[in-house]
Structure 1
Amino acid sequence: MNTKETTHRRPKGSGSEWKDANGVWHARKEIAPNPQTGKRRLVEARGATKTAARQKLQAKLEKMQREGTTPLTNTPTLDVWIDRWLTQTAMNVKPRTLETYRSDCNAIRRQIGGMRLDKITPGDIERMCAQLNQTRSGKTVHNHYIRLQQILNAAVREQLIPTNPALAAMPPRYEPRETRILDPGQPQQAIEAARRPAHRKWDMLQDDDTDRAMWALMFDLAFETGMRQGERFAITPEELVTKGGVHGIQIDWELQRLSPDAVIPNWLDARHLEGRFWLLPPKSRQGRRFIPVSENTWIRLHERAAKCEPNGLLFTRQGHPLTNNVERLRWQRALEDAGLPYVTMRAARHFFSTHLAETGAPEDARKAMMGHAKITTTAGYTHWSPERLAQLADQARQAINA
């Protein structure tokens, strides 16, 4: 009696597998239609064995899910969702911001990246922060926590999880470090020391008189304008303007050194200089601002501009853009030669904000000069001395007997 041969079909949706005439195994699966065209999409992989073809196909499908080109079929792990979130975020933030996001995400992945989104609890997040606190500063761990909160908020928005467990977790605590600033008169001592450094048998910095004059002007600008470092490094001749008879700097750019694989979004106005150096807009809309400068500084800036290309940088070292490390070494030496305590170069911005406030400048003027969106941010850059507070208190007490 003839027996009918039975064939076993794979479950619907699992795809197909076959071996071709050359002995190569193929694994294929249909995925969601192309959202732009509505046409069906097939993903295929090849391998020497059936298992190898299956594994390659699975890897392709996971990669597409991570990149966001296919919908998620089930609740993903945090690691997969982070990749998807970074892909979605990449074209909406500046390159340096994206680098920061990636750094935060890498720290998070190493702790709880393998957990499924719906299995993460507030306790898991608190334990993650406690573990990170062992090797990182409190401020850095707090930034990691805020980033995880953003990532999980996006998962709630996509209805992958009902609520954000980070909102129920206790945020990691940190105490901001107090920024130390120089006393009145001390900045000028450091600037003079930069212009005429003490003699050294071995001068590792190898600056000539032109270089020293440049650094003295750079430090003058830092204390006189409160400009951010990247803004000072990015000054071009076209930013030296006169408005209403007032000489100053129209801040339109900041210098940034980006990673080699950085992607510049289409919406971002950017100018490539060389290698990894780019001119990008200031960190916020308020960063585009006009800052008046003194007559002496204006003259010195124009002397430098006369020697520059129209679109070139005013401040360079051996023809190349400046970096944080190059400036920091010269600032440290200037403080050392002047016999002053060490403060960071960023403290010059705090110095300017503080003394701007002490002159009685209105809040909106201080905020505008500093390039801040909120006066509360400017307040963080303002450090009242006991002497000035005492003077203000005495003025207030005069009302008692008025």
Structure 2
Amino acid sequence: MTTTRRDYGSGSVYQRKSDGLWIGTIEAGWTATGARRRVTVSAKTKAEAKRKLQKKQVEIDSNGTPVVSARATTKSWAEEWLPMAERTMRPSSFVSARAAVNLWIIPTIGHKKFAELTPADIRAVATAQRKAGRSSSTELRTHSVLMTMLKAAMLEGHTVHPRLLAVKAPRKAVTDRDAMTVEQALAILPWAGSLHHGSRFLAALLQGMRQGESLGLTWPSVDLDANTITVEWQAQALPYRIARDRTSGFRIPDGYEVRHLQGALHLVRPKSKAGYRVIPIVPVMRDALLAWREVQADLITDNPHGLVWPNLDGAPTYYKVDDEEWYGLQQAADVQHPAGRLFSIHEARHTTATLLLECGVDPAVIVAIMGHSSILTTRGYQHVRTERAMAALELVADRLQLG
């Protein structure tokens, strides 16, 4: 049976075990003391409880905006804001926001009232994270969540001093992410070629595809006649509504288009307009895909989702498995990052971008191939001709000696 989520604020109805009565509850803003205001009704039948609840909702709506207390705290607002955010944020962003709220914002300034918050309180959250040894990236994400929370509170009528929004975000530390050298990429390619599905890693180095885009690529999005790949989906694990409870369903925001694969894995649309793109397939990539498609037909008898690079049992490939293969290729080729670690799969994408730049490719063409969100996309350059993009990728293929 298919169920749909209730609209936020529409309440809930349940049967009380003690006496069998049906109880309906609804959130109705805040009391004068800053506590949550809950309206409750009871009835002998579920239908009657729903009718009573709807009547109460009409009464609340007709009375205007629920009480907004000057005594409301950061904690009380956070508990109100999170369900609202769940409806609009991408699932991964919501999980990150919820962690920031529960692990850092509430423990540090949850007891503070909005009207009394100061810039020092905002900085205190980042200071707490720094003392705990968290990264600058974590500090930045938490700061962004806190700013979003404060802006939403202002819209709802809470007293929030505008100067709080002017507090500067923590500085982000310099990242050591880097591109591979041409020699390192060349060392990995033969090992990738020894795999039946080696075209998957060719897609990373040559086509510049993100990990989720590769693992979520389906054969209908690959046109071997027109020699193009349409990037329109990516594989992503969605969080369960209740952590580790597979029966609780998934956190899916309003208007978020998804296709379920297996377990928590889904196909979701790209994060931004720049993510939607058509990438040309150079001859060496086309040959690799043709060869893999033939092998796949023999090795994989059931591929229900039409994935280009699934597991041998036809199930989608999880990020962890893909990462392990990528690290294994580097170890076999004796390749490592200058810092002594292995390159992440995302750094293969950095390699593609770097090679394109070294080949003197027009930045607009790079944006079209890589799907970077860039100022260039606002200047009318996003409609780059496929022929120009093809020529650019052929330069990369030549540089990798794949011609």
Q: Greater relative contact order (Cα 8 A, min sep 6): structure 1 or 2?
A: 2
2:217 to 235, 238, 243: 235
Q: Contact 1:96–1:258 at 8 Å: present in 2 too? A: yes
The answer to which of 255-264 and 295-304 deviates more is 295-304
Asked whether 1:326 is paired with 2:283, we answer no
Where does residue 264 of structure 1 map in the other structure?
252
Write out aligned runs for 1:186-265 (5 A).
186-196=184-194, 212-214=195-197, 216-241=198-223, 246-261=226-241, 262-265=250-253
Where does residue 399 of structure 2 map in the other structure?
none
Would the alpha carbon gap of residues 129 and 224 (structure 1) be closer, same or farther in structure 2, given more than 3 Å must change? same
User: What amino acid maps onto 1:147 in structure 2?
Assistant: V
Q: For residues 286 and 298 of structure 1, what CA distance do their matches in structure 2 show? A: 24
Asked whether 1:291 is paired with 2:279, we answer yes
SS in 1 for 2:182: coil
Aligned-residue offset at 1:237:
0.7
User: What amino acid maps onto 2:229 in structure 1?
Assistant: I
1:113 to 103, 106, 110: 110
Aligned-residue offset at 1:326:
1.1
Q: For residues 340 and 73 of structure 1, what CA distance do their matches in structure 2 show? A: 59
Would the alpha carbon gap of residues 282 and 271 (structure 1) be closer, same or farther in structure 2, given more than 3 Å must change? same
User: What amino acid maps onto 1:239 in structure 2?
Assistant: S
The answer to which of 160-169 and 179-188 deviates more is 160-169
Q: Contact 2:115–2:161 at 8 Å: present in 1 too? A: no
Q: For residues 27 and 119 of structure 2, what CA distance do their matches in structure 1 show? A: 35
TM normalised by structure 1 equals: 0.69
Q: Contact 2:68–2:158 at 8 Å: present in 1 too? A: no
1:172 to 170, 173, 176: 170
Asked which structure has the greater CA Rg, the reply is 1
SS in 1 for 2:88: coil
Q: Deviations over 1:1-49 (max 9, x none)?
A: xxxxxxxxxxxxxxxxxxxxx9xxxxx999979xxxxxxx95259xxxx
Aligned-residue offset at 1:376:
7.7
Q: What's the Cα RMSD here? A: 3.2
List gaps (5 residues or longer) in structure 2: 1-17, 19-23, 30-37, 43-59, 242-249, 337-341, 378-403
Aligned-residue offset at 1:294:
2.0
SS in 2 for 1:159: coil
1:122 to 97, 119, 128: 119
Aligned-residue offset at 1:298:
1.4
SS in 1 for 2:306: coil
Q: Contact 1:255–1:277 at 8 Å: present in 2 too? A: yes
Aligned-residue offset at 1:138:
1.1
TM normalised by structure 2 equals: 0.68
Where does residue 141 of structure 2 map in the other structure?
143
Q: For residues 199 and 95 of structure 2, what CA distance do their matches in structure 1 show? A: 32
User: What amino acid maps onto 1:213 in structure 2?
Assistant: H
1:314 to 289, 308, 312: 308
Identity %: 27
Where does residue 267 of structure 2 map in the other structure?
279
SS in 2 for 1:91: helix
Aligned-residue offset at 1:370:
1.3
Asked whether 1:103 is paired with 2:99, we answer yes
